């Protein structure tokens, strides 16, 4: 594909199964008035599938997106910026932040602190993939699809140099 070999790590069926599990775990905590905030761009496919799985277990989330960029050295002090903000009110909402992959944790730490500083009554985090070995910031996800091996992965919304977001599975670039 595009001169690169992609070795599948998590298949469409694997992903579909884990998303149903995540929706069940989210529903088990009986959230009310839930606002899903997807972190662009990588989470758009996961968010789309997760909200439909949430519907199947009886939840009715509202959905917003935020676009964040992170710069800097990979340290906790690295800079995260809002590229495009959410449109609605956060105060008083129970927010579920959704991202494709949790690595250093700087972006998700920023996103969670941002939601809480705006008066969210809760700010839980759901990620498809967790690369725990890469963590820099102090943060954990509340809902994790898969523990991810320490490879650069693409597909299912995730890219390398803007390519491969359209793949329906998650693979490793080899
Ligand atoms: N793949 C794609 N995007 C990413 C990754 C990855 O492994 N890690 C952080 N952003
Ligand atoms: Mg991302």
What percentage of residues in the chain have a pLDDT greater than 70?
96
φ/ψ (deg, to 5) at 166: -80, -10
- The answer to whether the beta carbons of residues 59 and 26 sit under 8 Å apart is yes
- 1-5, 71-75, 151-155 — most confident range: 151-155
Q: Kindly state the DSSP code that residue 166 receives in the 8-state scheme.
A: T
Q: Count CB atoms within 10 A of the CB of residue 104.
A: 18
User: Is the pLDDT at 170 greater than 90, yes or no?
Assistant: yes
Instruction: Evaluate: CB of 153 within 6 angstroms of ligand 1.
Output: yes
The number of the ligand 1 atom at minimal distance from the alpha carbon of 151 is 7
Bond from prior residue into 12 cis (ω within 30 degrees of 0): no
Strand duo 94-102 + 122-130: pairing: parallel
Residue 35 alpha carbon to ligand 1 centre in Å: 25
Mean residue pLDDT of the chain comes to: 94
| The ligand 1 atom nearest the CA atom of 160 | 2
Query: pLDDT of 100-152, one tens digit each?
Result: 999 999 999 999 999 999 999 999 999 999 999 999 999 999 999 999 999 99
- The reported pTM is 0.95
Tell me the CA–centroid distance for residue 152 and ligand 1, in Å. Answer: 6
Confidence label for 95 from pLDDT (cuts 50, 70 and 90)? very high
37 lines ligand 1 (CB under 6 A): no
Domains and CATH numbers, the chain: 12-150 (3.40.50.2020)
Q: Is the pLDDT of residue 72 over 90?
A: no
């Amino acid at each position: 594909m595009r001169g690169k070999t992609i070795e599948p790590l998590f298949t469409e069926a694997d992903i579909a199964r884990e998303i149903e599990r995540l929706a069940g775990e989210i529903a088990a905590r009986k959230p009310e008035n839930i606002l899903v905030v997807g972190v662009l761009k990588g989470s758009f496919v996961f968010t789309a599938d997760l909200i439909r799985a949430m519907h199947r277990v009886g939840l009715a989330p509202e959905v917003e997106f935020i676009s964040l960029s992170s710069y800097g050295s990979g340290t906790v002090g690295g800079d995260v910026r809002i590229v495009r903000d959410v449109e609605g009110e956060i105060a008083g909402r129970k927010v579920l932040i959704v991202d494709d992959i949790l690595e250093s944790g700087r972006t998700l730490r920023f996103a969670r602190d941002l939601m809480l500083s705006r008066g969210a009554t809760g700010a839980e985090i759901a990620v498809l993939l967790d690369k725990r070995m890469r963590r820099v910031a102090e943060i954990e996800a509340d809902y994790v699809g898969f523990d991810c091996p320490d490879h650069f992965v693409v597909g299912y919304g995730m890219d390398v140099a803007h390519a491969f977001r359209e793949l329906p599975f998650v693979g490793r670039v080899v």
